[in-house]
Amino acid sequence: MTRIRLWHSYIGLFIAPSVLFFALTGALQIFSLHEAHGKYEPPALIERLSSVHKDQVFALGHHHPQPEADAASPAAAEEDSDKPRMSTTLLKVFFLLVAICLALSTALGLWMGLTQIPRKRTGWLLVIAGALIPAVLLIF
């Protein structure tokens, strides 16, 4: 059982940077903060990180703002009818809470893993490798 616990720690330390990345960028995407809509233009970094999350490339997405419709036009009426229901909004809030808890749990797991394993240098090397490997692969 001790060996399984040690392997669990090593695997967790290696994947923790990616889990944190996906939890945080996923939280931004829940409310479409990575896409332009209305007068909102996402910061370039958020848009690029979203592209990594969704398409595995570090590039600006193809999210263009929608042309603003006149309030009396049929398109504006359609937009009002397309507003999310309360249950959808509550589900988004729940998933945001899940993403925050996943990031917090992963951060706590990192701390526990790095302080409880006998070979701390190996732990740090796994965390660094888990962060650098995806970054290097994005460059190529």
Q: Which band of pLDDT confidence, cut at 50, 70 and 90, is reported for residue 16?
A: very high
Is the distance from CB of 75 to CB of 69 less than 8 angstroms?
A: yes
Q: Which pair of tokens denotes residue 45?
A: 């970094």
pLDDT of 12 reads 96
Is the distance from CB of 13 to CB of 110 less than 8 angstroms?
A: yes
| Closest C-alpha among 1, 66, 60 to residue 34 | 60
Q: Which band of pLDDT confidence, cut at 50, 70 and 90, is reported for residue 64?
A: very low
Average pLDDT of the residues in 123-134: 96
Q: What percent of the chain has a predicted confidence (pLDDT) above 90?
A: 46
| Closest C-alpha among 126, 98, 117, 121 to residue 15 | 126
